[in-house]
Structure formats: C-alpha cells, structure tokens
Amino acid sequence: MTQTTAIAHPNFALVKYWGKKDIDQNMPAMSSISITVDSMHSKTKIYKNLSSKQHRLFINGEEEQDISKIIPSLQYLSKISKSNDFLVIKSENNFPTSSGLASSASGIASLVTAYEAHYDIELKMSDRVKACMLGSGSAPRSLLGGFVLMDQNRSYRCSQILGKSDWPLDVLICIASTESKKISSREGMEISRKTSTIYNHWLDINQEHINEALEAIREKNILKLERVTEKNCELMHEVMKTSSPSIVYKTDVTRSCVTEVENLRVLGHKLFYTIDAGPQVKIICDPSSSNAIKEKIIEKTDVIEIIHAGIGGSPRVVNEN
C-alpha cells in the first residue's frame, strides 16, 4: 500500500489575524506576519481508504468524528489531482493540541504537503495557499520557514521576509494549560467581527502594524519588533474582550508570565511576548538570554512546561513506511 508522510511546523503570528473576510472561503480579513518554529511539528501520513467510501482522520491515534475542517481542502486538492480516492489521514502532534498552539496550521500544512507528493501534482504556491486556507486561515503561513508575510492585498500571497538562519532568535513556549479551549478561534473570530466595539479600528490599524513589523524584521531590530508585536497582541486581546459575549483566553498564569517578561527586560534581557487564542505565552528572545528566562519563569510562575524552540523551516516529505 502506498503511503506518504509529511512534516510541517506550527507558526506564531507577530502581527495577527482575528476575523474573516469570507466565511465560505475561510479568508482572513487582514494580513499577518508569523514565525515558523522548529522543535514542534505535525506529522501526517495519508493513504487510500480501501475499506469504506469516506475520508477518515485520526489525530494522535484517536479518530475524529467531525472532519468538516479538512473536507474543503481535500475537495480543492482532488479537483487538481483528478482523484476520487477516499483517504485515511493519520496526524500526530508532538505538542498539546487545540490549546492555542497552532496545531491546525501545522496539521493542515502537513496534509497539503503529503497530498501533493502522494499524487505527484506539483502545485503552484497559490494553490497550496488556497488548499491550506480552506482548512485553517493561519495554515498558509506554515508553508514557509522563517519570518513569513501573508498579504491579503496580494491574494494572500505568502512570502518569506527572512529565512530561519538569517535571524536565529529563540522561541520559548510557556505552557500555562493543556486544556482544550472553550471557544474555537473560528467561533471567536465571528463573535468579534459581529460585536466588538473596536473591530473596525483593528481592521484599520492592520497595515500600519504590518509595515512596522516588516521594517523591524528587515533591520533585525528586536526592540522595534517587541513594540509592534506586543501592541498588536494586546489589541487583539482587547478586540476579544470587547466582544459580546466577552472572550478571554488569558489566565492568571498567562498574566504572571507577562509580568516576568517585563521584569527580565528591566534586567537587560532582549525578549518579547505574544499570546494567541489560548493561555500559552510565546517568548521570543535573543538565544543568549534563553536559559535565564526559562529559570526565572519556572521559579516565579505556575507554567507546566516550557518548550524551547528556534525558528523553523518549511514542510517536508519524509520517507516512512
């Protein structure tokens, strides 16, 4: 039986997307900039389902009953491959799933990468982006390594701003909780789009934040990147909070990590944080400070674990049987 396996890494947004322009096409309402991380990955194996006429998805060994998220991606890809195969898809994450760690981005990007190789279809980058986006709005960014821009003004073109070795920062992922989130990103984004009193401001400021972050990354200026990343993150959490019902992903552990980031900065360490749709805090720092930061966060907060990563590369097919 032929099977194909691919690996993709999660990405964390420095300038974030929160809100859709088109729900059917799952299109973000704004541009975003992310870093792809190494150490964490989704590994996805696909092969033809010979026993039933349906796709079957297993995540970390458990069969998913609701596979509606991946169906649009598979339909898009099957039009290109001209295959009517039903697939068995087995995806494994080496990190907590559904807790704000971008498992859907790396999961979908690894699925699209495995599919392309399995059917030998050599997709255009724009087709890869589309196939990923139909499954998860942030997944196209995991198609590239390093610092990545997804530009909504250019049909969501994804481009690499810097490669992983151009600016080798460290990423410390502070796990505040491993519980699945109560409001999915998809639901939360719709609530915010419809009800947040500052949603229009959030849309209007996006290009300004993109420009600031692009400049900071091109200059490799950590202080500039700190300013734009943290203000963009706090504004997104304010959009969530001003939604009705109010959405709060931060916990006391999240807040105590942020306090320690601020304390470490006073001591002269170069670091900044970002927080997504979950309680985890991602600290981006100069590698020379990583050990001191880890020690301080473990000493002063109730984080469960810290995953130490660097900037990661693009997805790849792995030979495995």
Footprint on this chain of ligand 2P0 (rule: CB under 6 A):
13, 16-18, 26, 32, 104-105, 136-138, 185-186, 276-277
Least distance between ligand 2P0 and beta carbon 244 (Å): 19
Q: Each residue of 119-148: b (16+ CB within 10 Å) or e?
A: beeebeeebbbbbbbbbbbbbbbbbbbbbb
Nearer to ligand 2P0, 206 or 289 (CB): 206
Least distance between ligand 2P0 and beta carbon 32 (Å): 5
Q: What angle do CA 270, 17, 239 make, to 5 degrees?
A: 90
**Of the candidates 154, 135, 172, which has an alpha carbon nearest to the alpha carbon of residue 284?**
172
Nearer to ligand 2P0, 83 or 178 (CB): 178
Residue linked to tokens 């502070």 = 174
Nearer to ligand 2P0, 209 or 294 (CB): 209
Least distance between ligand 2P0 and beta carbon 241 (Å): 14
Give the Å distances, CA to CA, from 320 to 2, 15, 21, 115.
11, 36, 39, 15
Q: Each residue of 9-47: b (16+ CB within 10 Å) or e?
A: bbbbbbbbbbbbbeeeebbbbbbbbbbbbeebbbbbbbb
Least distance between ligand 2P0 and beta carbon 13 (Å): 3
C-alpha to C-alpha distance for 305 and 173, rounded to whole angstroms:
8
Least distance between ligand 2P0 and beta carbon 234 (Å): 13
Nearer to ligand 2P0, 233 or 264 (CB): 233
Least distance between ligand 2P0 and beta carbon 288 (Å): 27
Q: Which residue is nearest to ligand 2P0 (CB)?
A: 137
Phi, psi (degrees; rounded to nearest 5) at 194: -80, -25
Nearer to ligand 2P0, 105 or 148 (CB): 105
Judge residue 3's burial from the number of C-beta atoms within 10 Å of its C-beta, 0-12 exposed, 13-18 middle, 19 or more buried: middle
Least distance between ligand 2P0 and beta carbon 38 (Å): 18
Judged by phi (left if over 0) then psi (alpha if -120 to 50, else beta), residue 42 lies in beta
Whether the bond into 245 is cis, omega within 30 of 0: yes
Nearer to ligand 2P0, 21 or 186 (CB): 186
Nearer to ligand 2P0, 4 or 44 (CB): 44
